[in-house]
């Protein structure tokens, strides 16, 4: 049983493009999580220098096309694929992650697949460059991208004899698939969207809390729970009320 989500990685006010790319790659390539790098594979780049190669591709893209989106630019995409504990070996998980990345990007974008084994459940972190390997185009995120990633992942899991979630619940990366367009989002929904936005740039849980504060949220902590209060919101929202995917325990595992 594999669960997946996809997030875009953008430049923040406190991070340059170079720092942002290096930070996420340093986190996913952590030797203590990937068996000293044994569980890392890559396509169209060397994972040891992927940050520099990603940035070089972007410079070539700007030179060829004359386009520069500045801080609005999406510099990379982050896919997370998590498997049921005990159902898959780390090696097979990495192979499935590579197949997922290749299928989703159609071989047009460089990517790195890192399989983490530091938790009871084996999981993949896939980072792919938003710039194509021919430097002429950028990956265009689309409305059902979360659903597309999940479908490809499910098909691959079936091919490998793994179980899948028949009726997945709404989760990170699939917001646009199920949030109605004709109504005002609730405070909880807005909070989930903000968490989805900041989380890919965070290497630790403390980084996550700091990022939420920077995003304008007041963070309230006590022994039992953590709550967030948005500007204009009267009553804070507890993390545990957001569902399993957004619980403190789940985010600490990322």
pLDDT (tens, 9 = 90+) of the chain, 254 residues, equals 567 888 888 776 667 888 889 999 999 999 999 999 999 999 999 999 999 999 999 999 999 999 887 767 889 999 999 998 899 999 999 999 999 999 999 999 999 999 999 988 899 999 999 999 999 999 987 767 888 898 899 999 999 999 876 655 444 444 333 334 445 678 988 898 788 777 767 778 888 899 899 999 999 998 788 999 999 999 999 998 987 767 887 777 66
| Domains of the chain, first to last | 2-159 (3.30.930.30), 179-253 (no CATH)
Residue 131 CA, distance from chain mean position: 17
pLDDT digits (tens, 9 = 90+) for 111-147: 999 999 998 889 999 999 999 999 999 998 776 788 8
H or E stretch covering 74: strand 74-83
Q: Which residues pair with 3 in a beta bridge?
A: 82
pLDDT digits (tens, 9 = 90+) for 184-218: 678 988 898 788 777 767 778 888 899 899 999 99
Structure tokens at 202: 């965070």
Report the DSSP beta bridge partners of residue 129: 76
CA quadruple 153, 154, 159, 161: dihedral sign: positive
Length of the chain: 254
Place of tokens 């875009």: 8
Whether 20 and 11 have beta carbons less than 8 Å apart is answered as: yes
pTM value is 0.68
The neighbour count for residue 21, using CB atoms within 10 Å, is: 24
């Amino acid at each position: 049983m594999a669960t997946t989500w996809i997030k875009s990685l953008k430049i923040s006010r406190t991070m340059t493009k170079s720092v942002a790319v290096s930070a996420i790659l340093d986190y996913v390539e952590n030797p203590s999580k990937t068996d000293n790098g044994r569980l890392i594979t890559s396509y169209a780049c060397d994972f040891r220098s992927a940050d520099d190669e990603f940035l070089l591709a972007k410079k070539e893209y700007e030179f060829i096309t004359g386009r520069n989106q500045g801080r609005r630019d999406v510099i990379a995409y982050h896919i997370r694929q998590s498997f049921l504990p005990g159902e898959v070996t780390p090696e097979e998980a990495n192979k499935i992650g590579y197949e997922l990345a290749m299928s989703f990007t159609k071989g047009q974008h460089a990517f790195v697949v890192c399989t983490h084994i530091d938790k009871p459940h084996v999981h993949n972190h896939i980072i792919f460059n938003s710039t194509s390997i021919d430097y002429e185009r950028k990956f265009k995120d689309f409305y059902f991208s979360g659903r597309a990633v999940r479908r490809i992942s499910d098909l691959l899991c079936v091919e490998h004899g793994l179980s899948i979630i028949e009726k997945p619940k709404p989760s990170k990366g699939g917001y646009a698939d199920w949030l109605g367009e004709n109504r005002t989002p609730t405070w909880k929904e807005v909070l989930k969207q903000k968490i989805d936005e900041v989380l890919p740039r965070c290497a630790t849980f403390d980084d996550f809390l700091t990022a939420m504060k920077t995003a304008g949220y007041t963070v309230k902590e006590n022994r039992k729970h953590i709550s967030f209060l948005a500007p204009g919101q009267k009553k804070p929202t507890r993390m545990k009320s957001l569902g399993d995917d957004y619980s403190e325990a789940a985010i600490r595992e990322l």
